């Protein structure tokens, strides 16, 4: 399988950095911070975002097509300039059971 695209890895890492992890956000017993596995190369996680928790890539192109960050302790806001919107091939998105301060996703 092809590795993820540099631009999409960068967008995901910037998206991750826009939140703090707050365990009080979820009461779900299986909740865990999926973005903890998201690391750049050389940080012990490898740079292939297709292998990161919650990220699904197209097997032939390597583009990120799915993102499941449900119950991930994400706390913060999603603005219209979020790097989430740089993931142009995204067809599936699950952000349930997090706290986005009432953000209206454009």
Tell me: pLDDT of 15 over 90: yes
Q: Report the distance separating Cα 12 and Cα 79, nearest Å.
A: 15
pLDDT tens, position by position, 36-90? 989 876 555 457 899 999 999 999 999 999 999 999 999 999 998 999 999 999 9
**Residue 19: predicted pLDDT:** 96
Q: Spell out the domain ranges in the chain.
A: 6-94
Tell me: pLDDT of 30 over 70: yes
Tell me which residue has tokens 């919650």: 54
The yes/no answer on whether domain 6-94 falls in CATH 3.30.70.260 is: no
């Amino acid at each position: 399988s092809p590795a993820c695209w540099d631009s999409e890895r960068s967008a995901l890492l910037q998206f991750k950095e826009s939140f703090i992890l707050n365990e009080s956000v979820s009461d779900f017993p299986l909740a865990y911070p999926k973005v903890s596995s998201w690391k750049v190369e050389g940080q012990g996680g490898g740079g292939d975002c297709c292998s990161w928790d919650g990220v699904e890539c197209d097997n032939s192109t390597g583009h990120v097509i799915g993102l499941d960050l449900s119950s991930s302790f994400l706390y913060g806001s999603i603005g219209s300039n979020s790097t989430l919107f740089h993931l142009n091939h995204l067809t599936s998105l699950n952000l349930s059971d997090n706290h986005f301060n009432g953000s209206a996703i454009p």
